Amino acid sequence: MSASVFANARSLSARRLAAAALAAGAVVGVAALPASAAGVARPHQPQVKITAVQADSPGRDERHDRSLNKEWVELSNTTRRAVNLDGWTLRDNVGRTYTFHHYRLGGRDSVRVHTGQGRDTRTDLYQGRRNHIWDNVRGTVTLRDDRGRFVDDESWGRVRHQGDNRGHGDNRGHGDNHGRGDDHRQGGNRH
């Protein structure tokens, strides 16, 4: 083999090796990208979460707004964008439901949903109930979107946290309309 043919063959082999190395690097680079960057959707992360529950109103459970409103559920928006909660629901173990009506939760904002009556604001909403609804000892509150899809839940006491409010056990809580699944809508126009 002449020297020039040998040099051309060697050059061709080096180019092929370089091309193969670049291709392998590209494959490794794509594999190392986050799933969303590689074109695969990430699992849905809830934008709104239940961040706190005050199920046991401090002091005696009395049927006046001062006591009722010390019982609350807090929701927080984990994103920078406002989330329209119109039609979303909070529900307890026995089916009592509160439905949000014309309320937008601002980006990185929180809202407390109180049991009793009061004047709705951007940070505090009121169910308008006349009795306590959250069990002091154990229970679960479930948040669902306007299509009824599970968003989040929070349990306290000896209740298993399962994510879809099935199998949480019997909650013999106190309050009105036990087991009837009453729907209390939040009124007024919110941001």
pLDDT surpassing 60 at residue 82: yes
Average pLDDT, stretch 141-165?
82
Give me 157's structure tokens: 């006491």
Alpha carbon 24 to chain centroid distance? 40
pLDDT at 60: 77
Cβ-proximal residues to 18 (8 Å cutoff; 6+ apart), any chain: none
Alpha carbon 180 to chain centroid distance? 25
Say if residue 87 is in the same domain as residue 128. yes
Per residue in 88-97, pLDDT (tens digit) is 999 999 999 9
pLDDT surpassing 70 at residue 58: yes
Write down the pTM of the prediction.
0.62
Say if residue 72 is in the same domain as residue 130. yes
Q: How many domains does the chain have?
A: 2
Say if residue 139 is in the same domain as residue 55. yes
Residue 168 included in any domain: yes
Average pLDDT, stretch 109-138?
95
Q: Which residue has the higher pLDDT, 129 or 185?
A: 129
Say if residue 75 is in the same domain as residue 109. yes
Residue 123 included in any domain: yes
50 DSSP β-pair partners: 75
Q: SS3 string of 63-121?
A: CCHHHHCCCEEEEEECCCCCEECCCCEEECCCCCEEECCCCEECCCCEEEEECCCCCCC
Domain extent at residue 32: 1-38
Say if residue 15 is in the same domain as residue 53. no
Q: Which residue has the higher pLDDT, 79 or 178?
A: 79
Sheet holding 124-126, edge to edge: 48-54, 72-77, 110-114, 124-126
Lowest mean pLDDT among 41-45, 67-71, 88-92, 113-117: 41-45
Average pLDDT, stretch 80-87?
96
Average pLDDT, stretch 60-77?
89
Rounded CA separation 89/150 (Å): 10
Pairing of strands 110-114, 124-126: parallel
